[in-house]
Amino acid sequence: MDAQWLRKRMQPAFDFAKAHPDKILWCGEFGTIRHCRLEYRENWMRDVISRLKENGIPYCVWNYLSTPNDGNRFSLVDDDTRAILSPHLLRIIQGLE
């Protein structure tokens, strides 16, 4: 998957937002599982966020912190230290890259 793949899959939502300027489309939850290589997580987040920003769609990344027993494992921070796993990933999530 890459930016072009995402653009094609997300285009119906972007078309809807353009056709209905009186409505607000919001991407409420997306993320990457922590067991994925960090490089892949960064690429996915950058690609998704870039597509959303290109189309003026506000977003929220899921989630900041997993707990050891919650089963989702989408943390952006270390479970023990709460330190961000990647300063680069943080900048991507903030929409700065």
The pLDDT confidence band at residue 18, using thresholds 50, 70 and 90, is: very high
d(CA 7, CA 16): 14
pLDDT tens string 30-69: 888 878 888 998 999 999 999 999 999 999 887 666 666 6
pTM of the model: 0.83
CA distances from 66 to 39, 59, 62, 69, 70 (A): 20, 19, 10, 8, 6
The domains of the chain are located at 25-93
Amino acid at 7: R
In angstroms, rounded to a whole number, what is the distance separating the alpha carbons of residues 50 and 65?
Answer: 23
8 A C-beta contact, residue 46 and residue 53 = no
CA–CA separation, 76 vs 83, rounded Å?
Answer: 9
Tokens found for residue 14: 């972007």
**CA distance readout (Å), 41 to 52, 62, 67, 77:** 17, 13, 19, 13
